[in-house]
Amino acid sequence: MHQARKRFGQHFLHDQTIIDRILRSINPQPGENLIEIGPGQGALTYPLLKACENLIAVELDRDLVPVLSRRSKRYGNLEVINADILEFELASLGSQKYYRLVGNLPYNISTPLMFHLLESVKQIQDMHFMVQKEVALRIAAGPGDANYGRLSVMLQYRCACQYLFDVAPGSFRPPPKVNSAVIRLTPLAVPEYDIGDHANFSAIVQAAFGQRRKTISNSLKSMLDREKIIACDIDPTLRAENLSIGDFARLSRACT
Protein backbone atom coordinates (compact mmCIF):
# COMPACT_ATOMS: atom_id res chain seq x y z
CA MET A 1 0.00 0.00 0.00
CA HIS A 2 1.21 3.49 -0.84
CA GLN A 3 2.43 5.32 2.26
CA ALA A 4 1.32 8.92 2.81
CA ARG A 5 4.18 11.33 2.18
CA LYS A 6 4.64 14.25 4.51
CA ARG A 7 6.29 16.44 1.88
CA PHE A 8 3.11 16.24 -0.23
CA GLY A 9 0.85 16.88 2.77
CA GLN A 10 -0.93 13.60 2.14
CA HIS A 11 -3.80 12.47 4.36
CA PHE A 12 -5.90 9.85 2.58
CA LEU A 13 -9.66 9.94 3.10
CA HIS A 14 -11.15 6.56 4.06
CA ASP A 15 -14.42 7.31 5.91
CA GLN A 16 -17.20 6.01 3.65
CA THR A 17 -19.86 8.11 5.37
CA ILE A 18 -17.90 11.29 4.59
CA ILE A 19 -17.14 10.11 1.05
CA ASP A 20 -20.86 9.56 0.42
CA ARG A 21 -21.71 12.95 1.89
CA ILE A 22 -19.17 14.68 -0.35
CA LEU A 23 -20.55 12.87 -3.40
CA ARG A 24 -24.11 13.95 -2.54
CA SER A 25 -22.90 17.54 -2.23
CA ILE A 26 -21.21 17.41 -5.63
CA ASN A 27 -23.96 15.38 -7.32
CA PRO A 28 -21.80 14.51 -10.36
CA GLN A 29 -23.65 13.76 -13.61
CA PRO A 30 -22.66 12.01 -16.86
CA GLY A 31 -21.16 14.40 -19.40
CA GLU A 32 -19.94 16.94 -16.85
CA ASN A 33 -16.34 18.10 -16.97
CA LEU A 34 -14.88 17.21 -13.59
CA ILE A 35 -11.32 17.74 -12.44
CA GLU A 36 -10.12 16.20 -9.20
CA ILE A 37 -7.16 17.84 -7.49
CA GLY A 38 -4.97 15.46 -5.52
CA PRO A 39 -6.85 12.17 -5.99
CA GLY A 40 -4.48 10.31 -3.67
CA GLN A 41 -5.50 6.65 -3.45
CA GLY A 42 -8.78 7.22 -5.26
CA ALA A 43 -11.32 7.34 -2.42
CA LEU A 44 -13.31 9.99 -4.30
CA THR A 45 -11.88 9.30 -7.74
CA TYR A 46 -13.54 5.97 -8.42
CA PRO A 47 -17.08 6.88 -7.30
CA LEU A 48 -16.79 10.19 -9.18
CA LEU A 49 -15.67 8.33 -12.29
CA LYS A 50 -18.48 5.83 -11.95
CA ALA A 51 -20.99 8.68 -11.85
CA CYS A 52 -19.63 10.94 -14.59
CA GLU A 53 -17.83 8.37 -16.81
CA ASN A 54 -14.93 10.73 -17.64
CA LEU A 55 -12.62 12.45 -15.18
CA ILE A 56 -9.37 14.41 -15.18
CA ALA A 57 -7.18 14.09 -12.09
CA VAL A 58 -4.17 16.26 -11.30
CA GLU A 59 -1.74 14.43 -9.01
CA LEU A 60 1.72 15.58 -7.91
CA ASP A 61 2.91 12.21 -6.56
CA ARG A 62 4.08 10.37 -9.67
CA ASP A 63 4.08 7.02 -7.87
CA LEU A 64 0.29 7.23 -7.57
CA VAL A 65 -0.29 7.85 -11.29
CA PRO A 66 0.05 4.22 -12.52
CA VAL A 67 -1.96 2.94 -9.56
CA LEU A 68 -4.85 5.30 -10.29
CA SER A 69 -4.71 4.58 -14.02
CA ARG A 70 -4.77 0.83 -13.52
CA ARG A 71 -7.53 0.70 -10.89
CA SER A 72 -9.79 3.19 -12.69
CA LYS A 73 -10.32 1.12 -15.84
CA ARG A 74 -13.37 -0.68 -14.46
CA TYR A 75 -15.15 2.61 -13.68
CA GLY A 76 -14.61 4.82 -16.72
CA ASN A 77 -12.09 6.97 -18.53
CA LEU A 78 -9.59 8.60 -16.17
CA GLU A 79 -6.89 10.98 -17.41
CA VAL A 80 -4.22 11.46 -14.77
CA ILE A 81 -2.01 14.51 -15.18
CA ASN A 82 1.20 14.40 -13.14
CA ALA A 83 1.61 18.07 -12.25
CA ASP A 84 1.80 20.62 -9.47
CA ILE A 85 -1.68 22.14 -9.31
CA LEU A 86 -0.17 25.49 -8.28
CA GLU A 87 1.50 25.62 -11.70
CA PHE A 88 -1.28 23.96 -13.68
CA GLU A 89 -3.46 26.14 -15.91
CA LEU A 90 -6.99 25.13 -16.94
CA ALA A 91 -6.31 26.80 -20.29
CA SER A 92 -3.71 24.08 -20.97
CA LEU A 93 -6.57 21.60 -21.44
CA GLY A 94 -7.29 23.37 -24.72
CA SER A 95 -11.00 24.01 -24.38
CA GLN A 96 -13.37 26.68 -23.16
CA LYS A 97 -15.52 24.24 -21.20
CA TYR A 98 -16.85 24.92 -17.74
CA TYR A 99 -15.13 22.68 -15.23
CA ARG A 100 -16.26 21.38 -11.87
CA LEU A 101 -13.32 21.12 -9.49
CA VAL A 102 -13.13 18.68 -6.60
CA GLY A 103 -10.37 17.92 -4.13
CA ASN A 104 -9.07 17.01 -0.72
CA LEU A 105 -6.48 19.80 -0.71
CA PRO A 106 -3.13 19.55 1.08
CA TYR A 107 -3.35 22.03 3.95
CA ASN A 108 -0.09 23.75 3.05
CA ILE A 109 -1.29 24.85 -0.40
CA SER A 110 -5.02 25.47 0.05
CA THR A 111 -4.86 29.27 0.39
CA PRO A 112 -2.37 29.93 -2.46
CA LEU A 113 -4.35 27.49 -4.59
CA MET A 114 -7.56 29.47 -4.08
CA PHE A 115 -5.87 32.61 -5.36
CA HIS A 116 -4.38 30.67 -8.27
CA LEU A 117 -7.77 29.29 -9.28
CA LEU A 118 -9.34 32.76 -9.20
CA GLU A 119 -7.23 33.52 -12.27
CA SER A 120 -9.24 30.90 -14.20
CA VAL A 121 -12.60 31.53 -12.56
CA LYS A 122 -14.37 32.16 -15.88
CA GLN A 123 -13.79 28.51 -16.80
CA ILE A 124 -15.09 27.11 -13.50
CA GLN A 125 -18.67 26.08 -12.79
CA ASP A 126 -18.11 25.26 -9.13
CA MET A 127 -15.54 23.94 -6.65
CA HIS A 128 -15.97 21.47 -3.80
CA PHE A 129 -12.92 21.27 -1.57
CA MET A 130 -11.88 19.66 1.67
CA VAL A 131 -9.68 22.13 3.54
CA GLN A 132 -8.48 22.80 7.07
CA LYS A 133 -11.47 23.93 9.15
CA GLU A 134 -9.70 27.18 10.01
CA VAL A 135 -9.40 28.01 6.30
CA ALA A 136 -13.04 27.08 5.65
CA LEU A 137 -14.17 29.42 8.41
CA ARG A 138 -12.09 32.23 6.91
CA ILE A 139 -13.53 31.66 3.46
CA ALA A 140 -17.14 31.81 4.65
CA ALA A 141 -16.75 34.58 7.27
CA GLY A 142 -18.50 37.94 7.00
CA PRO A 143 -17.67 41.42 8.36
CA GLY A 144 -17.33 41.53 12.13
CA ASP A 145 -16.35 37.86 12.35
CA ALA A 146 -12.91 37.18 13.84
CA ASN A 147 -12.21 34.85 10.89
CA TYR A 148 -13.01 37.54 8.29
CA GLY A 149 -9.94 38.56 6.31
CA ARG A 150 -8.28 38.95 2.93
CA LEU A 151 -9.21 35.42 1.82
CA SER A 152 -12.87 36.05 2.71
CA VAL A 153 -13.08 39.26 0.69
CA MET A 154 -11.16 38.11 -2.38
CA LEU A 155 -13.10 34.86 -2.71
CA GLN A 156 -16.53 36.25 -1.88
CA TYR A 157 -16.09 39.05 -4.42
CA ARG A 158 -15.96 36.40 -7.17
CA CYS A 159 -17.82 33.43 -5.65
CA ALA A 160 -20.76 32.40 -3.53
CA CYS A 161 -19.01 30.62 -0.64
CA GLN A 162 -20.73 27.92 1.42
CA TYR A 163 -19.44 26.07 4.46
CA LEU A 164 -20.97 22.61 4.07
CA PHE A 165 -19.87 20.33 6.91
CA ASP A 166 -17.05 19.33 9.28
CA VAL A 167 -14.76 16.34 8.88
CA ALA A 168 -12.96 14.83 11.88
CA PRO A 169 -9.27 13.79 11.80
CA GLY A 170 -10.20 10.12 12.15
CA SER A 171 -11.68 10.18 8.63
CA PHE A 172 -8.13 10.17 7.22
CA ARG A 173 -5.07 7.96 7.23
CA PRO A 174 -2.86 9.16 8.79
CA PRO A 175 -5.15 11.47 10.80
CA PRO A 176 -4.13 15.15 10.61
CA LYS A 177 -3.63 17.17 13.77
CA VAL A 178 -6.44 19.56 12.82
CA ASN A 179 -10.13 19.37 11.89
CA SER A 180 -11.24 19.71 8.29
CA ALA A 181 -14.34 20.98 6.51
CA VAL A 182 -15.93 20.76 3.08
CA ILE A 183 -16.74 23.99 1.25
CA ARG A 184 -18.52 24.88 -1.98
CA LEU A 185 -17.43 27.84 -4.12
CA THR A 186 -19.67 28.87 -7.01
CA PRO A 187 -18.27 31.61 -9.27
CA LEU A 188 -20.66 34.48 -9.85
CA ALA A 189 -21.59 35.11 -13.48
CA VAL A 190 -21.24 38.83 -12.78
CA PRO A 191 -19.61 40.15 -9.59
CA GLU A 192 -22.04 41.99 -7.34
CA TYR A 193 -19.71 44.95 -6.86
CA ASP A 194 -17.86 47.27 -9.24
CA ILE A 195 -14.30 47.33 -7.92
CA GLY A 196 -12.79 49.41 -10.71
CA ASP A 197 -9.18 48.30 -11.18
CA HIS A 198 -8.59 44.79 -9.83
CA ALA A 199 -4.98 45.54 -8.89
CA ASN A 200 -6.15 48.48 -6.75
CA PHE A 201 -8.81 46.32 -5.09
CA SER A 202 -6.33 43.56 -4.30
CA ALA A 203 -3.74 46.02 -2.96
CA ILE A 204 -6.25 47.79 -0.72
CA VAL A 205 -7.61 44.54 0.74
CA GLN A 206 -4.10 43.23 1.34
CA ALA A 207 -2.93 46.47 2.99
CA ALA A 208 -6.03 46.74 5.18
CA PHE A 209 -5.79 43.19 6.53
CA GLY A 210 -1.99 43.23 6.61
CA GLN A 211 -2.32 45.72 9.48
CA ARG A 212 -5.75 44.68 10.69
CA ARG A 213 -5.34 46.11 14.19
CA LYS A 214 -4.90 49.58 12.74
CA THR A 215 -7.72 51.83 11.57
CA ILE A 216 -8.13 51.94 7.82
CA SER A 217 -7.05 55.59 7.73
CA ASN A 218 -3.67 54.36 9.01
CA SER A 219 -3.38 51.09 7.12
CA LEU A 220 -4.39 52.70 3.80
CA LYS A 221 -2.65 56.06 4.22
CA SER A 222 -0.18 55.36 1.40
CA MET A 223 -3.10 54.89 -1.02
CA LEU A 224 -6.02 56.94 0.28
CA ASP A 225 -6.15 59.95 2.56
CA ARG A 226 -8.75 60.39 5.28
CA GLU A 227 -10.90 62.73 3.15
CA LYS A 228 -11.19 60.20 0.32
CA ILE A 229 -12.19 57.48 2.76
CA ILE A 230 -14.90 59.73 4.22
CA ALA A 231 -16.04 60.58 0.66
CA CYS A 232 -16.65 56.83 0.19
CA ASP A 233 -19.15 57.07 3.07
CA ILE A 234 -16.84 54.99 5.28
CA ASP A 235 -15.76 55.84 8.82
CA PRO A 236 -11.94 56.14 8.71
CA THR A 237 -11.67 54.94 12.32
CA LEU A 238 -13.02 51.50 11.43
CA ARG A 239 -10.75 48.48 11.07
CA ALA A 240 -10.60 46.18 8.05
CA GLU A 241 -12.69 43.49 9.74
CA ASN A 242 -15.64 45.92 9.90
CA LEU A 243 -15.72 46.69 6.17
CA SER A 244 -17.98 44.89 3.70
CA ILE A 245 -16.97 43.88 0.20
CA GLY A 246 -19.00 46.85 -1.04
CA ASP A 247 -16.92 49.14 1.19
CA PHE A 248 -13.69 47.76 -0.23
CA ALA A 249 -15.10 48.19 -3.75
CA ARG A 250 -15.79 51.89 -3.12
CA LEU A 251 -12.30 52.38 -1.71
CA SER A 252 -10.85 50.65 -4.77
CA ARG A 253 -12.72 52.93 -7.16
CA ALA A 254 -11.53 55.96 -5.20
CA CYS A 255 -7.90 54.84 -5.47
CA THR A 256 -6.82 56.44 -8.74
Cβ atoms within 10 Å, residue 154: 21
Quote the pLDDT of residue 9.
47
d(C-alpha 141, C-alpha 86), whole Å: 24
> What separation in angstroms does the CA of 168 have from each of 12, 14, 37, 217?
13, 12, 20, 41
Q: Which domain holds residue 249?
A: 198-254
Q: Are residues 228 and 140 in the same domain?
A: no
d(C-alpha 74, C-alpha 58), whole Å: 20
Query: Residue 68 domain-assigned?
Result: yes
Q: Work out the percent of the chain whose per-residue pLDDT is above 90.
A: 75
Q: Are residues 166 and 206 in the same domain?
A: no
Eight-class DSSP state of 58: E
pLDDT in tens, 54-99: 999 999 888 888 888 898 889 999 999 999 999 999 988 877 678 9
Q: Are residues 11 and 116 in the same domain?
A: yes
Q: Are residues 119 and 235 in the same domain?
A: no
Query: Residue 192 domain-assigned?
Result: no
Mean pLDDT throughout 222-236?
A: 95
Cβ atoms within 10 Å, residue 188: 12
Q: Where are the beta strands (DSSP E) in 71-167?
A: 77-82, 99-104, 124-132, 159-167
Quote the pLDDT of residue 40.
84
Query: Residue 193 domain-assigned?
Result: no
Single pTM value for the model:
0.92
d(C-alpha 50, C-alpha 242), whole Å: 46
Number of domains in the chain: 2
